[in-house]
Amino acid sequence: MARTYPALEVHWTHPVAEDSLDQLLAAVDDASPTAVEEGDGQVRLFFATAAERTRGEELLRGLASLRVLSLDVSDEDWAARSQQGLGPVVVGRIVVVSTSGVENTTSPVDPRGRGEAPIQISILPSMGFGTGHHASTRRCLSLLQRVPLDGARVLDAGTGSGVLAIAAWKLGAREVLAVDADPDALSAAAENLERNGATNAIQIALVDLGKLSASGSNKSVAGPFDLILANLTGSALIRYAESLASLLSPSGRIIASGFQTDEVPAVAGAFEPVGLVIEDRDDEETWVGLMLRRG
């Protein structure tokens, strides 16, 4: 039986301005929506749990000129509809293709994407986890290609679909650990690892990010890591800054995204006390990706 996801359908009762969607996403950020489906004068926001949907509905009450409906949507129906409108995502050398087909897209000539050939990643569409189409994922993919990854040890914190973990491996990382607190996310990630020939190359683990630390209190995650990928939310990054930093090697980096321009001072400020400063930055409209490194 197909899983259903809690969702909010938001209708604008006035002409939609260019920044209306950005304002909506910023307002609902603390409820951690997992996917967004845009329509004509409306948008659907999907959540991992009914409690997060309720929180999202509460946050949207403060916005004028909106009509908000609560509903549950079948994952299979969403995947079938969304696939029709999801073209490939191209970020530098990386091409992310969303398809429900079973073909393995790993190149038989250059399976780890070395050299200058495009690196193709196949992701099964699911409303619960990213397909690479969100701006924050694209910012992570862009910054990921600016880091020397040959032989690196990488942690993907909050892996979702596994797209960033797969990209890190195909770019040359020696060891990749993908963790998430949601068992359904790990199930989706495992399927995507298989689709890309990465099942034996990338380890996945059910981990509460709040319990990460260098002390080894969570035996599934043992630092140090040369790179940590953290495509979360602004509030989550602030909350977990110390834990994430504790898992870095002395010359390690964190690629952080999932937040907007006005959140940059707070996010960067959370990492400064633990010795990390901005080394690089990548913006797309109001969404931001940061490369953080020990100062």
Q: Please give the chain's pLDDT, 295 residues, in tens.
A: 556 778 899 988 877 677 777 788 888 888 878 777 777 778 888 887 889 999 999 988 877 778 899 988 876 555 555 555 556 788 999 998 876 554 444 443 344 445 567 899 998 876 445 556 678 899 999 999 999 999 999 999 999 889 999 999 999 999 999 999 888 889 889 999 999 999 999 999 999 887 775 554 556 688 799 999 999 989 999 999 999 999 999 999 999 999 989 999 999 999 999 999 999 999 988 899 999 998 7
Q: 68 and 99: one domain?
A: no
Q: How many residues are there in the chain?
A: 295
Q: State the total domains in the chain.
A: 2
Q: 174 and 256: one domain?
A: yes
Cβ neighbours of residue 45 closer than 8 Å, sequence gap 6 or more: 7, 8, 10, 28, 33, 35, 36, 56
Q: 159 and 181: one domain?
A: yes
Q: 57 and 193: one domain?
A: no
d(CA 68, CA 57): 7
Beta-bridged to residue 74, according to DSSP, are 4
Q: Final residue of a domain: which of 27, 54, 74?
A: 74
Residue 80 falls within a domain, yes or no? no
In the chain, % helix, strand, coil (3-state, to 5) comes to 30, 35, 35
Q: 148 and 283: one domain?
A: yes
Q: 143 and 272: one domain?
A: yes
Full domain range(s) for residue 208: 86-294
Q: Final residue of a domain: which of 52, 74, 96?
A: 74
pTM of the prediction?
0.72
